[in-house]
Structure 1
C-alpha cells in the first residue's frame, strides 16, 4: 500500500522518533496513530506529500524533533503541512487545554486551507476511532484518562465536526461525523 520512497522514509522516521511512546491510557505503541492517519489519507486518495505529513504530524508536539530537523529531512512543503496540523507550539505548555482547543477550532474555521483541514480530519478521525474502541472496552472509568472531562470533549469534537464541514463529501469526514455521534449521542 505504501510503496513510495517519501512515504517509506516518513514511516521509518516517525517510527524511530515515536519509539517507546504509547497512546494515552494504554499500552498501544504511539506509532499506530500516525500510521492510521496516513492510511486514512491514502484511502481518501491524497498525494504522497500529504500522506507523509500525516505520518509526521505529531512529531513537533510530542517528540524532540525540531522544525529544522523536519525541514532538513523532508523539505519546507512537508514542514508547512506538519505545522498546519500542529497546535501553536510557542507557549503551548502555558495554555490550558480549553484555550488550545479553542485555538484549533478557530484556526480550522477561519484560516486553514482545504488540505490543512484534510490532515486535521484524518488526525481527529483516528483519535475518535481510538476513543470509540476504548470506550467500548472500558465504559466506566474511561474519561478519567483525558485532560478534560467528557462534556468538554463532547464540545471539542462537535466543534471540530462543524469547523471541518467544508470536507462534506469526503469519506473520512462522513466517518468522523458518524464516530463522534456514536461517542457522544
Structure 2
C-alpha cells in the first residue's frame, strides 16, 4: 500500500518543481511521508503523506484515492486539501482551524508538511536567496500562518503522544520569524 502511494504520487507530480527551486516536487511528499513513518504512524498516515498534495495539485481526485486506498487515507488527504477557489487567507485560516480541531493523525500530517515547507524556506534564507516574493503572500502573512499553526498544533493532544518533530517545527518557526 505504501509503495503504491509513493508510485501514484510520483506519477501524479511528474514534471512539477518546488517553489523557488529546480528540485522535483516529489521530494517534498517523500520527506513528509518519511517523517511520518519515522514518528511511528501507521500505513494510512504514511500513505496520506505521499498523497497529501495530489488532489490539490494534480488531476488525481478524491474518488481515485478512495478506490485505491480506502476511506481513511482519502479522509486524511481531504482534511489537508485546500479549496483553490478561496482566497489565500481563507485557505490558510481553514488549515489552522483543521489543525486546531483535528485528530493526532491530521495534525501530524499537516505539521509534517508545514515543517518540510518551512525547512525549504529557511534553507533558502540561509543561502541568501530572495524567498518571500515567490509566495502569494509575503513575510508578514507567512509569519502569521506558520506561527498560527504552531500555536494550535498541540491543542487537545496528550503531551506524551505529540511527535518530536512538533518541537522541531516550533524551533524553526522561531528561527525564521522571531
Instruction: Tell me the TM-score normalized by structure 2.
Output: 0.93
Q: 2:41 aligns with which of 20, 40, 46?
A: 46
Aligned to 1:159: 148
Residue of structure 1 in register with 2:132 after alignment: 143
2-structure distance, mates of 1:135, 1:72: 41
SS at match of 2:41: coil
Question: Which of 104, 128, 146 in structure 1 is aligned with 2:95?
Answer: 104
What is the match of residue 165 of structure 2?
A: 172
Q: Which shows bigger deviation, 153-162 or 169-178?
A: 169-178
Give 5+ residue unaligned stretches, structure 2: none
Contact 2:19 2:134 in 1 (8 A): yes
1:139-171: per-residue Cα shift (whole Å, max 9, x none)? 4x2210011010110011000001102365421
TM-score norm. by structure 1 comes to 0.89
* In the alignment, structure 1 residue 132 sits paired with structure 2 residue 122: yes
Report the counterpart of residue 24 of structure 2 in structure 1: 29
Tell me which stretches of 4 or more aligned residues in structure 1 moved more than 6 Å: none
Taking the aligned partners of 1:27 and 1:138, their CA distance within structure 2 comes to 16
> Unmatched 5+ residue regions in structure 1?
1-5
Alpha-carbon displacement from aligned partner over 1:60-90 (angstroms, at most 9, x marks no partner)? 1000111111111111221111112222x3x
Q: CA RMSD in A?
A: 1.3
Distance in structure 2 (CA, Å) of the matches to 1:106 and 1:8:
31
Counterpart-to-counterpart distance in 2, 1:50 and 1:39: 11
Superimposed CA distance per residue, residues 84-142 of structure 1 (whole angstroms, 9 cap, x where no aligned partner): 2222x3xx22x211111112112222x31221111111111111111111111134x22
